[in-house]
């Protein structure tokens, strides 16, 4: 079980992501983390691992590369990185807090199932550290534009509050920032995970030699507006904070189905 932190001044903090060791979001997160503590470790994938979910590399060896003091890249998935960090590179003293991100693109609704960003944080929680995944939605009008000022303004306080909350347990939080400038953010909402109406798309095509191929497309963005859901709140201009858990048991159905196998 995770220990409760009274403050972050002396906390050991691990940073990882799924966009890779050289990603802009990881650099932003490092700047934020260094406002909170001096003991910062960065252990992230050597290359982009978006949508890798909670996969582990089991069919080949992993290699670490030291890039600086407390800074490593791993040629594996986000989950590999957190596992290698907590069981090997930081084995002398496990991190008090794991931060994953800041992802380029939101992780809302069903995104959390596929997200390497969320998976890195979840691995941290499984291994006993309070963990936070952070993601930034692109601008609502221009998908190539990301308002990093929104993250830098609000993330330090959000992280500090989540990390020092006295609630016991291996807590995992998913934080998403809307695609608007900091001065347009309406507030912060604690929300449930939302649900999109359909899912993702499959794109058909032919390569230059005429052979057909299939390509996984983007998620369908349309969703039914549901109060207190992350998809609704972020569309309304709020930062969303969602508590997650790695126990996937459907307890409501569990209570009903015992008669099937008496």
Return binding residues for a divalent metal cation. Answer: 18-19, 50, 103
Annotated binding site: 18-19, 50, 103
Q: For residue 102, is the peptide bond before it cis, meaning its omega torsion is within 30 degrees of 0?
A: yes
Query: What is the Rg, in whole angstroms, of the alpha carbon atoms belonging to the chain?
Result: 19
Reduced DSSP (H G I as helix, E B as strand, rest coil) percent helix, strand, coil of the chain, to 5: 30, 25, 45
Q: Are 93 and 129 in contact (CB under 8 A)?
A: no
Tell me if 32 sits within 8 A of 100, measured CB to CB: no
Tokens of 61: 């060896």
Burial annotation 214-243 (CB, 10 A radius, 16+ → b, else e):
eeeeebeeebeeeeebbbbbbbeebbbbbe
Q: How far is CA 25 from CA 50, 153, 219, 228, in A?
A: 13, 14, 22, 27
| Residue given tokens 């079980």 in the structure block | 1
Confirm if 72 and 14 have CB atoms less than 8 A apart: no
Q: How many C-beta neighbours within 10 Å does residue 127 have? A: 18
């Amino acid at each position: 079980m995770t220990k409760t932190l009274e403050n972050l001044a002396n906390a050991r903090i691990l940073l990882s992501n799924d966009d890779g060791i050289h990603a802009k979001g990881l650099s932003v997160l490092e700047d934020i983390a260094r406002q909170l503590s001096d003991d910062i470790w960065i252990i992230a994938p050597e290359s982009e691992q978006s949508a890798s979910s909670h996969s582990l590399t089991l069919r080949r060896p992993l290699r670490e590369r030291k890039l600086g003091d407390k800074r490593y890249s791993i040629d594996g998935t986000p989950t590999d990185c957190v596992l290698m960090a907590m069981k090997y590179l930081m084995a002398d003293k496990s991190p008090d807090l794991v931060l994953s991100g800041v992802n380029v693109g939101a992780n809302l609704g069903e995104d959390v199932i596929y997200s390497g960003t969320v998976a890195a944080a979840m691995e941290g929680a499984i291994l006993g550290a309070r963990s936070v995944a952070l993601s930034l939605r692109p601008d609502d009008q221009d998908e190539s534009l990301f308002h990093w000022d929104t993250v830098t303004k609000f993330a330090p306080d959000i992280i500090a509050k989540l990390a020092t909350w006295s609630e016991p347990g291996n807590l995992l939080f998913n934080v998403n920032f809307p695609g608007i400038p900091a001065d347009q953010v309406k507030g912060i909402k604690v929300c449930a995970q939302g649900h999109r109406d359909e899912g993702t798309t499959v794109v058909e095509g032919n390569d230059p030699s005429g052979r057909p191929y299939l390509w996984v497309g983007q998620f369908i963005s349309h969703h039914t507006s549901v109060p207190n859901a992350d998809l609704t709140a972020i569309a309304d201009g709020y930062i969303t904070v969602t508590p997650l858990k790695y126990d996937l048991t459907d307890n409501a159905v569990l209570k009903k189905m015992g008669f099937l196998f008496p």
